[in-house]
Copies of this chain bind each other. A is one copy, B any other.
């Protein structure tokens, strides 16, 4: 099911351009459902792809595997099923082992535990944590 209609073809020229760029950037012929469904609005498709590409596919200060772990952590907390699956798959391609995955899950679930504990206690934040002093 979906709230938008999947195109039967992907003949729109902007869609074609984005699909070709995805294939080239990721060295694959595979186009995920996200991109296929987003083609219901080619301009939105292009904008989202440009932002994902420049943030996640380019070489930047933070290495690619760490970037995927950060993305996974947010996606798990927001409970976006599609995002959890696609970014875990991406992290595996970048070398995430089963042992690292288990450790990662340990960290995200501990964080959720202490987040909830602290929210329940409503403590004052230590002044020493203030970066803007």
Residues of A within 8 A of B (CB): 1-6, 30, 32-34, 37-38, 40-41, 43-44, 47-48, 51-52, 55-56, 60-62, 66-67, 69-86, 88-89, 92, 97-132
Contact = CB atoms under 8 A, between A and B. Distances in A.
Given A34-B118, A74-B73, A125-B33, A112 B110 contact: no
Query: What's the number of copies of this chain in the assembled complex?
Result: 6
A108 B116 contact: yes
- The secondary structure that dominates the A interface is helix
A55 B110 contact: yes
Given A48-B114, A72-B120, A105-B120, 12 more contacts: A1-B122, A3-B101, A5-B98, A30-B128, A33-B124, A37-B121, A40-B98, A69-B69, A73-B74, A74-B76, A86-B126, A109-B117
